[in-house]
């Protein structure tokens, strides 16, 4: 065991504070890595506030981790000391069930081990990337391509793969009309992926001020979703709509915008259940689906795609002393468009 330093919420809705804990010892197939950057995801906020009802404390958040390898076990083949790697939303799975066998570890039938806030297969609580280091089996780490700036790569480990995976499965073709609901951390990346696949992209936002950003990121047009006339002008025209909104909202208006056999994919995961009309689904034989993040191989594919196409998140860097301020701003949706903690900035002495 090795002592690590991090930032933990000690109770529901609490601010994070310095926290010392133990990481497991390096196993034969493990890598140890010093954390350089960690993105702040809306899921971190959900976990701190226990919005989903299954988190416990102390809780060290963070699953968008960029780190430099400092040690490798004797069986490690993928990585060497000095490599810059990414650690995303899961750090273990059974590896034998059908999803795991097909590279879909996130959907492990016995339950994937989350990077933070869950028990590993030995029953030990996992602590996340709001910390100085991490130990992980090499299978669950990915290589950061040299063309990707490490700080900008961090949000790709969750926000990036969460939007890339469903859009990839949608088999978008040039000219397909795609709607992106929400212009936050997920939505702004979804715009960039969809444009890279040649889609005609329309962004739906409640914030008119974000329209210029949407166009700058590649959107062909924008719609203020509260404007009924603007919404009606797109009726029955979309092949696919990706809803990235994490706040409770009514998805019904977007069903009316889909073509026959169109798809609405919900990835925002509001804490409260949503209501959808079966009648509206039947009227155009619509599909409503969802998605989590993605498997390890798909995550590596996504990073390589981002490097090749020059796609990166828009970020605000914060130091460790600014984590609570960033979390408060995230609660108010005051971020353009992802916070990334520089774990080497404003070092704090621990007792």
Q: Where are the chain's structural domains?
A: 2-158+294-342, 160-290
The pTM assigned to this predicted structure is 0.94
* Helices 185-196 and 159-169, axial angle in degrees (round to 10): 40
Cα(241)–Cα(194) distance, rounded to whole angstroms? 11
Low-confidence ranges of the chain (pLDDT < 50): 347-351
First to last CA, the chain: 19
Q: For residue 346, what pLDDT is reported?
A: 62
Confidence (pLDDT) at 130: 98
Question: What pLDDT is recorded for position 1?
Answer: 62
pLDDT of 51 reads 79
Which of 17-40 are b and which e, b meaning 16 or more Cβ less than 10 Å from the residue's Cβ?
eebebebeebeebbbbbebbbbbb
What tokens were used for 183? 């212009």
Distance, in Å, from the CA atom of 30 to the CA atom of 140, rounded to the nearest integer, reads 9
Q: What is the pLDDT of residue 122?
A: 83
CATH superfamily of 160-290: NAD(P)-binding Rossmann-like Domain (3.40.50.720)
> Strands (DSSP E) along the chain, which ranges?
2-9, 16-23, 30-40, 65-72, 84-87, 90-92, 113-114, 133-137, 141-143, 177-181, 200-205, 221-224, 238-243, 258-266, 287-290, 315-318, 338-342
Q: What is the pLDDT of residues 239-296, one digit of tens each?
A: 999 999 988 889 999 999 999 999 999 998 877 888 888 999 999 999 999 999 999 9
Backbone angles phi, psi at 317, to 5 degrees: -80, 140
Q: Where are the alpha helices (DSSP H) in the chain?
A: 42-48, 98-101, 150-153, 159-169, 185-196, 211-216, 228-232, 252-255, 278-283, 296-309, 323-331
pLDDT in tens, 69-80: 999 999 999 999
* CATH superfamily ID and name for 2-158+294-342: Medium-chain alcohol dehydrogenases, catalytic domain (3.90.180.10)
């Amino acid at each position: 065991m090795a002592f690590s330093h991090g930032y933990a919420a000690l109770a529901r809705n609490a601010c994070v504070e310095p926290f010392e804990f133990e990481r497991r010892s390096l196993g034969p197939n493990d890598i140890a890595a010093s954390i350089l950057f960690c993105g702040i995801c809306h899921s971190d906020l959900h976990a701190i506030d226990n919005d989903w009802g299954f988190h416990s404390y102390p809780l060290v958040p963070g699953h968008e981790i960029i780190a430099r390898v400092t040690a490798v076990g004797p069986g490690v083949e993928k990585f060497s000391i000095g490599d810059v790697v990414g650690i995303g939303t899961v750090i273990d799975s059974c590896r034998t069930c059908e999803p795991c066998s097909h590279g879909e570890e996130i959907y492990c039938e016995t339950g994937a081990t989350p990077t933070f806030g869950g028990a590993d297969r030995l029953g030990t609580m996992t602590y996340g990337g709001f910390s100085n280091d991490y130990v992980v089996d090499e299978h669950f780490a990915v290589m950061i391509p040299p063309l990707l700036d490490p700080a900008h790569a961090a949000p790709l480990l969750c926000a990036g793969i969460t939007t890339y995976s469903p859009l990839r499965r949608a088999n978008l073709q040039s000219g397909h009309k795609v709607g992106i609901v929400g212009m936050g951390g997920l939505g702004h990346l979804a715009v960039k992926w969809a444009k890279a696949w040649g889609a005609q992209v329309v962004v739906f936002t409640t914030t008119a001020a974000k329209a210029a950003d949407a166009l700058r990121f590649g959107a062909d047009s924008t719609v203020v979703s509260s404007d009924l006339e603007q919404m009606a002008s797109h009726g029955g025209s979309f092949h696919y709509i990706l809803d990235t909104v994490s706040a409770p909202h009514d998805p019904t208006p977007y069903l009316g915008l889909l073509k026959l056999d169109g798809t609405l994919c919900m990835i925002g995961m509001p804490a409260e259940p949503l209501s959808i009309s079966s009648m509206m689904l039947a009227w155009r034989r619509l599909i409503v689906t969802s998605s989590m993040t993605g498997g390890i191989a798909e995550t590596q594919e996504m990073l390589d795609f981002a490097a090749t196409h020059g796609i990166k998140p828009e970020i605000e860097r914060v130091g460790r002393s600014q984590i609570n301020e960033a979390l408060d701003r995230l609660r108010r949706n005051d971020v353009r468009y992802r916070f990334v903690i520089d774990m080497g900035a404003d070092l704090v002495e621990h007792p």
